Amino acid sequence: MDSSLLAKESALVLILDIFFIWFFRDPKRRAEGPEDVIVSPADGKVVDIRDNTACIFMNIYNVHVNRAPLSGKIVTMKHKCGGYLPAFFKDSHRNERNLICIESDYGLVRIVQIAGTVTRRIDTYFNVGDHVARGERIGMIRFGSRVDITPPDGYMLVVNKGDRVKAAISPIAIRNTTGPDYPGHHAGG
């Protein structure tokens, strides 16, 4: 084999190795602040808010490890096979997805992990009946994808479309303790 061809192949392998090490990074994070504040389950950009649900798109450069937005017990996990449309499209309801429901001291929080165009795998680290702590790693979606989060009744979203969020760090929703519950109400709208 030609030494220049071998050098080019070696360089390509090294570049791919560096990319995968960077892509699958998993920084240490700890949720801080009041326990009843819902933190983001994913790094990314809020691409939509509808029906009291925040939709967070994770681009290729975001960390793809998902984290528990509240402490509680996993009471539901449902995997649905599907397609691989870009996760930011409204038609992504046809994509492969994984529903995780966590029963917390403050109510039921719903997380939907949605596969994207390149994604071919959603990994979940827990099972029904397991307890998770707020900010704890709960799974990973490989490559570009989306995570939707719906807080329990009595919470209002504190993010807006276009906001950038970080898993376990950025507040997504807070309890409405100053008046009647406003399901569907969110900051800026």
Q: Give the CATH number for residue 58.
A: 2.70.70.10
Rounded to whole angstroms, the Cα distance separating 161 from 154 reads 21
User: Given 40, 71, 145, 170, which residue is catalytic?
Assistant: 145
- CB count, 10 Å around CB of 71? 18
Most confident of 11-25, 86-100, 120-134, 152-166: 152-166
Residue pLDDT, tens place only, 45-84: 999 999 999 999 988 788 889 999 999 999 999 988 866 5
First to last CA, the chain: 64
pLDDT at site 20 = 60
Question: Is residue 91 predicted with pLDDT exceeding 60?
Answer: no
The per-residue pLDDT for 119 is 54
Helix, strand, coil percentages in the chain from 3-state DSSP, rounded to 5: 15, 40, 50
**Is residue 25 within 8 Å of residue 62, measured between CB atoms?**
no
Question: Is the residue at 101 inside a domain?
Answer: yes
Query: Average pLDDT, stretch 24-31?
Result: 73
145 given a catalytic annotation: yes
Q: How many helices (H) and strands (E) does the chain have?
A: 1, 14
Q: Is residue 35 part of a domain?
A: yes
Side by side, the strands of the sheet bearing 53-58 are 131-132, 72-80, 97-104, 107-115, 145-150, 53-58, 44-50, 164-165
Does any domain span residue 113?
A: yes
* Residue 189 included in any domain: no
Whether 143 maps to a domain, the answer reads: yes
Contact assessment for residue 122 and residue 99, using Cβ atoms and an 8 Å cutoff: no
The C-alpha atoms of residue 41 and residue 168 are separated, in whole angstroms, by 6
- Does residue 186 carry a pLDDT above 60? no
When pLDDT is averaged across residues 90-119 and rounded to a whole number, the result is 83
pLDDT attached to residue 107: 97
What single-letter DSSP state applies at residue 178? S
Between 185 and 71, whose confidence is greater? 71
Task: Tell me how far CA of residue 14 lies from CA of 60, 63, 64, in angstroms.
Answer: 19, 21, 22
Dist CA 97 CA 121 (whole Å)? 9
Q: What is the pLDDT of residues 139-177, one digit of tens each?
A: 988 766 889 999 999 999 999 999 999 999 999 999 987
In a domain, 19, yes or no: yes
Please state the domain count of the chain. Answer: 1
180 lies in a domain?
A: no
pLDDT for position 184: 44
In a domain, 78, yes or no: yes
Q: Which residue range is the domain that position 82 belongs to?
A: 3-175
Enter the pTM of the model: 0.77
Nearest to 139 by CA among 66, 68, 41: 66
Q: Containing H/E element for 6?
A: helix 3-23
